[in-house]
Amino acid sequence: MSFDDLPVEVGPVFEGERIRGKQMYVELGGPKQEKKFELVRVVPSDKIEDGRVTIIGPDIPDIEEGSNVPWGIVIEMSGDKLEEDLESVLERRIHEFTNYIEGTMHLNQRYDVWQRVSKNAVKKGFNSLKFIGDILMRLYKAELPIVEKAQVTIYTDRGQMEAAYNEAMEIYEARDAKVRGMTDEGVDQFYGCVLCQSFAPTHVCIVTPQRTGLCGAINWFDARASARVDPKGPNFAIEKGDAIDESLGEFSGVNEIADSKSLGEVTRVALYSAMEVPHTSCGCFEAIVFYIPEVDGLGIVDRNFKGSAINGLPFSTMANQTGGGKQVPGFHGIAIEYIRSKKFLKHDGGWNRVVWMPSSVKERVKDDIPADMVNKIATEQEVSDLEQLEAFLKEKNHPLAASIVAAEEESEEEEEEEYGMAAAGGMPMGTMTMSVPGAGGVGGFTLILKNAKIHAEKVIIKRMDAGSKKRKK
Ligand SMILES: [Zn+2]
């Protein structure tokens, strides 16, 4: 395949390219745009004018340098072996293929897509967004010969994008809905996805009926369709094997695949826990489940949440902690769709353990939160710090409230363990040795004061307990 006629180069070597704000000519979609999308559709061959790219809205010459514009892209494809079930997986390749283009950067997927084109690329002659469509079509045909014909429509005008955007949202929902109601117990095979291994070499996504791929774009049906047409490709069947621990969602077949695909880095994977040998996270998770030690609960923050989550950290900071194919107990990348699953954090206590989430996510998954829990989970609208969160949980009688109260009482008792030491008039003291016993009479420490002058009404010594769930105030 030749790209010699193009102003920029194309190839996997450009995949890791980052384009900072100062280097970008234009930003397409991303957090500044409320609505953006990318969609692949399989259509009959006679509906396609092969190779055509249509731009609806301003193109590069009309766009001021350094600005942000709306972004929608629809790639229609045909081919004898193509079927609708393959759309999700074909669509997911947009990420990889766009990143092949020198001077472009692509992040995320579906309704979160975020792209940049660099000033350098524009200087070299990348003077139309048509190049993106053109290159994508060439890469699809070269890498996936089942794609025979294609045409691309790009939207950069908010108003004219509306209908296509709404249609895309309906299609995403229909894909997601297809797998709802199925159970992990009801199938013998799960599927693996290693599309993200170029970024996270030890990461393999385990896609089950009740656990959608953590990018949110590949569910069990999608991975199955992809594995059928290309069993040696990025998606493949996993024989479930024996259930080692049903609560954790640990299966022998999954462990074997994780072990081999991560080259021995990850040997055990729990599908239903954020805390114990959790599933690894690549970089494109839609949300993060994070542990909040102060209340021993779990929070959820999604990619679109602006500002800091209840633990004081923004999504981006936690994403660094979570991603890269590591297994990090307490930082767990997930798809929004997985929040709806009956297996959601099952081993950690499920919804009874969830204490905080953004209101927008809560609204989206409301129907799948147990009715008696909906009002017990705080959002940024009710609380803004951990103290308020604790009060909220107690007030609403959240299932964790009792243990929060118990932890507080324990901490008050600690405060009462005061050691009053009156040294009236600040009289010089010789060497004074005090032994303070540790909890349960084990450990403890010795305090030696040499020639100390102490002026104090009282001295309070508090136990420092590193493992304490209670935040020191
Ligand atoms: Zn990924």
pLDDT tens series, the chain, 473 aa = 778 999 999 999 999 899 999 999 999 999 999 999 999 999 999 999 999 999 999 999 999 999 999 999 999 999 999 999 999 999 999 999 999 999 999 999 999 999 999 999 999 999 999 999 999 999 999 999 999 999 999 999 999 999 999 999 999 999 999 999 899 999 999 999 998 888 888 999 999 999 999 999 999 999 999 999 888 889 999 999 999 999 999 999 999 999 999 989 999 999 999 999 999 999 999 999 999 999 999 999 999 999 999 999 999 999 999 998 989 999 999 999 999 999 999 999 999 999 999 999 999 999 999 999 999 999 999 999 999 999 999 999 999 999 999 988 887 776 665 444 433 344 444 444 444 444 444 445 555 555 555 556 555 555 555 444 444 43
| CA 213 to centroid of ligand 1, rounded, Å | 8
d(CA 426, CA 455): 5
Q: How far is the CA of 193 from the centre of ligand 1 (A)?
A: 9
Q: Collapsing DSSP states into helix, strand and coil, what is residue 446? A: strand
Ligand 1 centroid distance, CA of 285 (Å):
6
Secondary-structure class of domain 189-404 per CATH? alpha beta
Say how far apart CA 456 and CA 91 lie, in whole Å.
70
- Tell me the torsion sign for CA atoms 270, 273, 277, 280: positive
Ligand 1: centre distance to CA 63 (Å)? 31
Percent of the chain with pLDDT over 70: 87
DSSP assignment string, 57-101: S--GGGS-TTEEE-EEEEEEEE-TT--GGGHHHHHHHHHHHHHTB
Q: Considering all CA atoms of the chain, what is the largest pairwise distance in Å, rounded to the nearest integer?
A: 100
Query: Contact at 8 Å (CB) between 196 and 205?
Result: yes
Q: 30 to each of 278, 286, 415, how far by Cα in Å?
A: 29, 13, 50
CA 325 / ligand 1 centre spacing (Å): 9
Mean pLDDT of the chain: 89
CA of 216 to the centre of ligand 1 (A): 9
Report how far residue 8's alpha carbon sits from residue 417's, in angstroms, rounded to the nearest whole number: 71
Question: Cα(98) to centroid of ligand 1, in Å?
Answer: 15
Handedness of CA 393, 394, 398, 402 (dihedral sign): positive
Cα–Cα distance for residue pair 448/310, rounded to 1 Å = 41
For 268, other C-beta atoms within 10 Å of its C-beta total: 16
Q: How far is the CA of 196 from the centre of ligand 1 (A)?
A: 5
Closest CA to 41 of 224, 192, 209, 170: 170
Q: How far is the CA of 245 from the centre of ligand 1 (A)?
A: 26
Tell me the residue type at 24: M
Fold of 12-179: 3.30.1650
Distance from the CA of 339 to the center of ligand 1, in angstroms? 17
What digits encode the pLDDT tens for the residues 137-196? 999 999 999 999 999 999 999 999 999 999 999 999 999 999 998 999 999 999 999 988
Whole-number Å distance, alpha carbon 334 to ligand 1 midpoint, is: 10
Give the residue extent of every domain in the chain: 12-179, 189-404, 418-435+446-473
Question: What is the whole-number distance in angstroms between the Cα of residue 372 and the centre of ligand 1?
Answer: 34
Please, which residues have CB within 8 angstroms of residue 289's CB and are 6 or more apart in sequence? Answer: 274, 298, 299, 300, 331, 332, 334, 345
- CA of 20 from ligand 1 middle (Å) equals 21
Q: Alpha helices, DSSP H only, in 78-129?
A: 87-99, 119-123
How remote is the CA of residue 294 from the centroid of ligand 1, in Å?
30
The answer to whether the CB of 444 falls within 8 A of the CB of 473 is no
Closest of 266, 271, 259 to residue 185, by C-alpha: 271
The C-alpha atoms of residue 434 and residue 447 are separated, in whole angstroms, by 5
Q: What is the C-alpha to C-alpha distance for residues 168 and 179, in angstroms, rounded to an integer?
A: 18
Dist. CA 390 → ligand 1 center (Å): 34
Distance in Å, CA 186 to ligand 1 centroid:
26
Helix (H, G, I), strand (E, B) or coil at 445: strand
Contacts of 62 (CB under 8 A, 6+ apart): none
- What gap in Å lies between CA 16 and CA 198, rounded to an integer? 9
**How many angstroms separate the alpha carbon of residue 195 from the centre of ligand 1?**
7
